[in-house]
Amino acid sequence: MKTLDAFIIEKQAEYPNAKGALSGILSSIRLVAKVIHRDINRAGLTNDILGYAGNQNVQGESQMKLDIIANDTFKHALMAREDVAGFASEEEDEFIIFDTERGRNARYIILTDPLDGSSNIDVNVSVGTIFSIYRRVSPLGSPVTLEDFMQPGNKQVASGYVVYGSSTMLVYTTGNGVNGFTYDPTLGEFCLSHENFQMPHNGKIYSINEGQYLKFPMGVKKYIKYCQEEDAATQRPYASRYIGSLVSDFHRNMLKGGIYIYPSATTYPNGKLRLLYEGNPMAFLAEQAGGLASDGYRRILDIQPTELHQRVPLFIGSKDMVEKAQEFMTEYKDA
């Protein structure tokens, strides 16, 4: 049984210029995942980590206690590494500069949604962690700048997620396919369980919050009706499955085939998900597994960010299903 550490070392040869830095960062993320796994699994035993923290993040969303715990765990683990120059999180107002000699000479920056779907914690529903790794573009020897974080998703060197469910699994890509590792608590190790993930090109599941139907663009409404229509040739109607945690919905669709949609709406004209912390890392994974990710009209990975907490509509999943959804979006663009 191959552990994550062994797999990372084996694959390090694919990055001769990285000098082990990327491998070290992935090992730190593995440690963060184990700590968050521990905290989540004892959430029902202590009130100290359950419920709302009583404050809001920069997007105006109420933070859960575990949001803050997960964010601090991530930040402190990365600060301890000499390979990371800076850190940006959905839970932080601004990016964090690791302004030490090591940080100023580090080559990588990390972006993360430390606890995706955290509102589900109190009811014991699956949640996740999302991360994204870029090479900095500012000169070595100086502190990182906003420019380092404003890179399009096609510049990512690695991304991944951890899903905390019936088992805890870490899934990541470095641009050479997608691999998944399941946590074995008896060993305290993540072990390779899903080598070279391939998302089915089609599926029978669509994931969207249909309670917001009246607020959606016409193209989304038409696509939902398409999913619900009976058609033997395309094996419709599709099943509606929506957990409310991007990681959990995406992970299921990665395995079984399907599409996840969080579109724009009258209440969220630019969408609700964040481009840098959710859209880009999940889009990189989707494409590496043979799927697609779009804002309804264009490739997510080609969008040039303009804000640290920029929102984006997201259509992600099986290639054929995303392409069909885009057809409806284009046809009814002006409706």
Structure-model confidence comparison of residues 137 and 54, the more confident one: 137
* Average pLDDT score over residue span 40-67: 59
User: Which band of pLDDT confidence, cut at 50, 70 and 90, is reported for residue 123?
Assistant: confident
Q: pLDDT tens digits for 280-320?
A: 999 999 999 999 999 999 999 999 999 999 999 999 999 99
**Average per-residue pLDDT in the chain?**
90
* Average pLDDT score over residue span 104-128: 87
Q: pLDDT tens digits for 5-34?
A: 889 888 776 665 555 788 889 989 999 999
Count the alpha carbons within 13 Å of 273 in the hemisphere toward its beta carbon.
32
Q: pLDDT tens digits for 249-286?
A: 999 999 999 999 999 999 999 999 999 999 999 999 99
Picking from 36-45, 60-69, 292-301, which range would have the lowest pLDDT averaged per residue?
60-69
pLDDT for 201 equals: 96
318 known ligand binder? no
132 known ligand binder? no
Structure-model confidence comparison of residues 10 and 107, the more confident one: 107
Percent of the chain with pLDDT over 70: 91
pLDDT for 46 equals: 54
* Average pLDDT score over residue span 229-234: 93
CA distances from 86 to 58, 109, 145, 221, 313 (A): 18, 5, 9, 41, 26
- In DSSP notation, 244-312 reads S-HHHHHHHHHHH--EEEE---SS-TT-SSBIIIIIHHHHHHHHHTT-EEESSSSBGGG----STT-B-
pLDDT for 63 equals: 64
CB neighbours of residue 189 within 10 Å = 18
User: Which band of pLDDT confidence, cut at 50, 70 and 90, is reported for residue 54?
Assistant: very low
Strand, helix or coil at 66? Answer: helix
242 known ligand binder? yes
pLDDT for 4 equals: 92
Say if residues 297 and 329 touch (Cβ distance below 8 Å): yes
* Average pLDDT score over residue span 227-250: 95
214 known ligand binder? no
93 known ligand binder? no
* Average pLDDT score over residue span 139-143: 96
Structure-model confidence comparison of residues 130 and 58, the more confident one: 130
Contacts of 126 (CB under 8 A, 6+ apart): 117, 120, 163, 164, 165, 166, 243, 245, 247, 248
pLDDT for 80 equals: 79
Among residues 317, 305, 287, the alpha carbon closest in space to that of 88 is found at: 305
119, with CB counted inside 10 A (0-12, 13-18, 19+), is middle
Q: How far apart are CA 191 and CA 281, in angstroms?
A: 22
Count the alpha carbons within 13 Å of 22 in the hemisphere toward its beta carbon.
26
pTM: 0.93
The DSSP H or E segment spanning 1 is none
* Average pLDDT score over residue span 215-238: 96
Q: pLDDT tens digits for 146-176?
A: 999 999 999 999 999 999 988 999 999 999 9
205-331: which CATH architecture? Answer: 3-Layer(aba) Sandwich (3.40)
User: Which band of pLDDT confidence, cut at 50, 70 and 90, is reported for residue 53?
Assistant: very low
User: Which band of pLDDT confidence, cut at 50, 70 and 90, is reported for residue 47?
Assistant: low
Q: How far apart are CA 329 and CA 332, in angstroms?
A: 5
The pair of three-digit structure tokens given for residue 171, joined into one six-digit string? 């899934």
278 known ligand binder? yes
The structural domains of the chain, with segments of one domain joined by +, span: 4-194, 205-331
The strand pairing partners of 63, in sequence order, are none
Contacts of 301 (CB under 8 A, 6+ apart): 152, 153, 154, 156, 280, 283, 284, 287, 293
| pLDDT exceeds 90 at position 122 | no
Strand, helix or coil at 123? Answer: helix
For the domain 4-194, what is the CATH code? 3.30.540.10
Q: Cis (ω within 30 of 0) for the bond into 200?
A: no
Q: How far apart are CA 30 and CA 182, in angstroms?
A: 11
Q: Where would I find the H helices in the chain?
A: 4-11, 21-41, 65-79, 101-104, 146-149, 218-228, 246-256, 280-288, 319-331
Picking from 41-45, 136-140, 145-149, which range would have the lowest pLDDT averaged per residue?
41-45
118 known ligand binder? yes
117 known ligand binder? yes
17 known ligand binder? no
Q: What value, to the nearest 5°, has the Cα angle with vertex 231 and ends 234 and 207?
A: 65
Q: Could you tell me where the beta strands, DSSP code E, fall in 120-177?
A: 127-135, 156-164, 168-173
User: Which band of pLDDT confidence, cut at 50, 70 and 90, is reported for residue 2?
Assistant: very high
Contacts of 50 (CB under 8 A, 6+ apart): 43, 44, 65, 66, 121, 122
pLDDT for 1 equals: 83
